[in-house]
Amino acid sequence: MPQATASDASTLARDFDLRHLDPAFHADPYPVYHALRAYEPVKRMPDGSLFLTRFRDVQAVYRDAKTFSSDKTVEFKPKYGDSPLYAHHTTSLVFNDPPRHTRVRKLIAGALTARAIAAMEPGLVRLVDGLLDAAAGCGRIDLIGEFASAIPVEIIGNLLDVPHAEREPLRDWSLAILGALEPSLTEAQFERGNRAVDEFVGYLRDLVARRRREPGDPQHDVLTRLIQGEEGGEQLSEAELLQNCIFILNAGHETTTNLIGNGLVTLTQWPEQRAALLHEPSLIESAVEECLRFESSNQLGNRMATVDTEIGGVAIARGTPVTLCIGAANRDPEQFADPDRFDIRRDPNRHLAFGFGIHQCAGLSLARLEARIAIGRFVQRFPAYRLDGEPTRGGRVRFRGFAEVPLELEPAASRTA
């Protein structure tokens, strides 16, 4: 979508409704985000909620977890009713406040130490190289189905020690449950999401029973850590345990798949940046940060005001839902010079792709490792890879990524032969 004129931008901001979006927004939401930042940075939506697009406002809400609650027991009731989706999304780590949030996060973080993540790297390299070998034999692949999505499924499956033979349904369950978080929900999405929660819970009950009989190493097995709880401390209830296992499996799937897919597609659109990464592989860490900023996998966050307050000079009544537009904040020219330019050398790059404050993504170091290995090794193995047709967007507002990306591959050896 071309950059809007001042008049067009004003109209875009005035008419914006998160629940009624046209296909152009899904393809490229950034002109709308720019318009909102310029004309209505604290946008009052038709349903009374607020939509924030400035970096400073989004960060301020993240910073103040007491005034802006993550608890969704009130907000999700009209959307989900007494459904399995409601039970899941109001029990999982991301949609809760302290002390429940603190207790669960501490258990998860204990298995995601720097040492534990570093120990995952050799296995991750083997996994990625195996996928690259298979891709080289084909010459053409679907980047998402045959590469990007396969990596987090294995990594998160390993974290919970899910048997390999039982991992096939995990991604479909995850997509269905996360798809039900979209601002506008169809009946089919609602039914699919509820069915996925029921099936996922049923599977996990059996897996937990097996793990209780044969515990794993709690230093590496997150499921065993959650079952055992803190030594001498409070243990998770059965519902907390099951729903947070679903959360862990979901949290690492779609967002990391999108990070890898978005990054590799973006590099095809900025050839000089791809050439720089190819010739300076050490740029991969800053390249991943720029992928996170430029095409944030998770575009939206949600909070609710617990008291009468204000943000950006706008009064907010207690009980007002607030949507944090991470994708817009990460393109804010007040925070990032030339924000619509993809620059793998960008420094500083203090983006909000992983959130901020007490709810910052607990698995951010693992996601960075997966992206660094996957994107870096893909570019080196297939330096001239190119799109082989039009990519298909995932059709999500909250989670930005692709459902399918056809690629034609050309390994380094054949290019220099």
Domain boundaries, given as residue ranges, for the chain: 84-295+357-416
Question: Predicted confidence band at 232 (pLDDT cuts at 50, 70, 90)?
Answer: low
pLDDT the model gives residue 1: 45
What percentage of the chain carries pLDDT values higher than 70?
A: 96
Q: Is the pLDDT of residue 292 over 60?
A: yes
Classify residue 332 as left (phi > 0), alpha (psi -120 to 50) or beta. beta
pLDDT of residue 416: 42
Residue 218: the pLDDT is 87
Residues 161-216 have pLDDT tens digits of 999 999 999 999 999 999 999 998 999 999 999 999 999 999 999 999 999 999 99
| Res 354: pLDDT | 97
Residue 249: the pLDDT is 86
Tell me the per-residue pLDDT of 389-409, one tens digit each, with 9 for 90 and over.
999 999 889 999 999 999 999
pLDDT in tens, 202-231: 999 999 999 999 999 888 888 998 899 866
pLDDT score, position 106: 87
The class level of CATH for 84-295+357-416 reads: mainly alpha
Q: What percent of the chain has pLDDT over 90?
A: 83
Q: What does the pLDDT look like over 260-273, one tens digit per residue?
A: 999 999 999 999 99
pLDDT score, position 415: 42
Give the model confidence (pLDDT) of 308-358 as tens digits. Answer: 999 999 999 999 999 999 999 999 999 999 999 999 999 999 999 999 999
User: For residue 370, is pLDDT > 90?
Assistant: yes
Question: pTM of the entire structure?
Answer: 0.93
Query: Has residue 87 got a pLDDT over 70?
Result: yes
Handedness of CA 46, 399, 302, 347 (dihedral sign): negative
* Per-residue pLDDT at 47: 92
The yes-or-no verdict on residue 3 having pLDDT over 60 is no
Residue 29 has pLDDT above 90, yes or no: yes
pLDDT recorded at residue 251: 82
Q: How confident is the model at residue 417 (pLDDT cuts 50, 70, 90)?
A: very low
